[in-house]
Amino acid sequence: MIEELKKTFKAFNKQFKKWPDYSRDDNFKRFVELEFPNKRLEDWKFLDFHSIFSKKFKKLKIDLDNKNKFHFNEYIKNFDHNKIIFLNGVFNKSNFENENKQKIICNSVKGFDEHMRTTIDDKSENSLNFLNNAFYLDGVHLTIEKEYKLEKPIVIYNVFNSMDKSNFFNQKIKVRTGENTKVDIFMYTINLGSEPIFLNVYNDFLVSKNSFIKIYNFNELKGNDFFYNFNDVDVMNSAIFENFTMSCSSHLFKHEIKCNLKEKYASGFINGAFLNKNQQNNEIKTRIEHGDENTKSFQKIKSVLDENSKAVFQGKIYVDSKAQHTDGYQLSKSIILDKESEFDSKPELEIYADDVKCSHGSTSGHLDEDSIFYLMSRGLSRNEAKKLLIQGFLVDAIETITNKEIKEYLLEKLKNKINEFK
């Protein structure tokens, strides 16, 4: 695979200029040194990317001419929203008719524009970030001017229909807010085609003083798709970052968040729900760094597993020595429906301050037979009782969503996915 990828990179790199001081070549060389992640790495010990990936992909292909155009207009009708649309990894258009357009700057940024540069520490072992830098093709740079609160959420439609011309996509999404702003962003990833894809995305968020960013991730990918979604977040004084992720599709999905609570009274809230079956592999990995005093974090991850599927939660809370009065909490829970499925949890606390309140917990188990029996005694079939209990378990995570319209939309999606369970 690496040798084939070298040939692909050589052809790809000819078409794009280098950054002034940070080239694609440097990033690709670093990727080749590290190769695809494997279970020898601590961050991938539960989800062996290399082993799983090599069984599904023999070659990574990129449509250098990007001639595979298609039309998409199947927008969400449940609530009014602004739109940013990508087709096969390339920016297509945006629409902010609900807003004051002078307060929003949305630019497609192709190639190695300096505004989109992602500088990675050479000591980093995250090869997929280097791979993203090497093959990054298109992205969006979104700026919300200070003192502006958006009327409607933004839905970023990331739509694919590769038709065998491409199966490898790398993007960057960069969001900057001015002080005292508010924005809800719904990231909706869809594969309309039958060909499996590998999507590698790097998101970069700056939440300025007194601002509030809510990010919601939902994907409707296919059973053989791979999606690695990395998020680098800086949260400033009295600002709030809220992230919710729901995944019920794709063969492998890893959602990684590095959230830096850099200044006083900054807060980070990370919640998620997984519904896995048919050998699906999902993981949320978080690192929340409390860098100043009176910062707060809360994490709640829930998963339901069936048919030899797997879910992983790796969550670390780091508290700096000057981050007194920190409040950090994380909880992961899983229900396992069969003997072959697996849930792995690795909660961590690294604390260097002495006046803090931090805790973590993790549980896994099966559906309660007494609860099933009770519901069956009220007229439900065993299958109906199981689905109702699964729904109640996962809804607890969805209830953390503060946007009512998005919450109702995801609840409907969840119910539909639960109904597909046997």
- E-assigned strands of 35-102? 82-87, 90-95
Residues 370/182, Cβ–Cβ less than 8 Å = no
Max CA separation in the chain (angstroms): 70
| pLDDT attached to residue 58 | 87
**Separation of alpha carbons 92 and 84, rounded Å:** 8
* Local structure of 181: helix, strand or coil: coil
Amino acid at 224: N
**Separation of alpha carbons 323 and 312, rounded Å:** 28
Closest CA to 195 of 58, 334, 38: 58
Residues 413/245, Cβ–Cβ less than 8 Å = no
| pLDDT attached to residue 138 | 87
> Which stretches within 206-337 are classed as H helix?
none
| DSSP letter, residue 417 | H
- Buried b / exposed e along 177-215 (16+ C-beta atoms within 10 A): bbebbebbbbbbbbbebebbbbbbbbbbbbbbbbbbbbb
Q: Which two tokens stand for residue 362?
A: 């993790």
Q: Which two tokens stand for residue 206?
A: 């700056």
- How far is the first Cα of the chain from the last one, in angstroms, to the nearest whole number? 37
Kindly list the domain boundaries of the chain, sorted by start residue. Answer: 2-419
Composition of the chain by helix, strand, coil, percent to 5: 20, 40, 40
**Separation of alpha carbons 236 and 286, rounded Å:** 18
Q: Which residue, chain included where needed, has tokens 């910062």?
A: 295
Closest CA to 276 of 249, 314, 258, 236: 249
Q: Which two tokens stand for residue 421?
A: 């369970």
What count of other Cβ atoms lies within 10 Å of the Cβ of residue 365? Answer: 10
Amino acid at 49: F
**Separation of alpha carbons 135 and 137, rounded Å:** 6
| pLDDT attached to residue 351 | 97
**Separation of alpha carbons 55 and 53, rounded Å:** 5
- Buried b / exposed e along 267-285 (16+ C-beta atoms within 10 A): bbbbbbbbbbbeebbbbbb
Q: Which two tokens stand for residue 186?
A: 């719904």
pLDDT along the chain (422 residues), means of 10: 89 71 82 94 94 91 76 93 94 93 87 60 87 90 96 97 88 96 98 94 97 97 95 98 94 97 98 94 97 97 96 96 97 95 96 95 94 95 95 94 95 92 72
Closest CA to 238 of 175, 320, 317, 181: 181
**Separation of alpha carbons 47 and 70, rounded Å:** 34
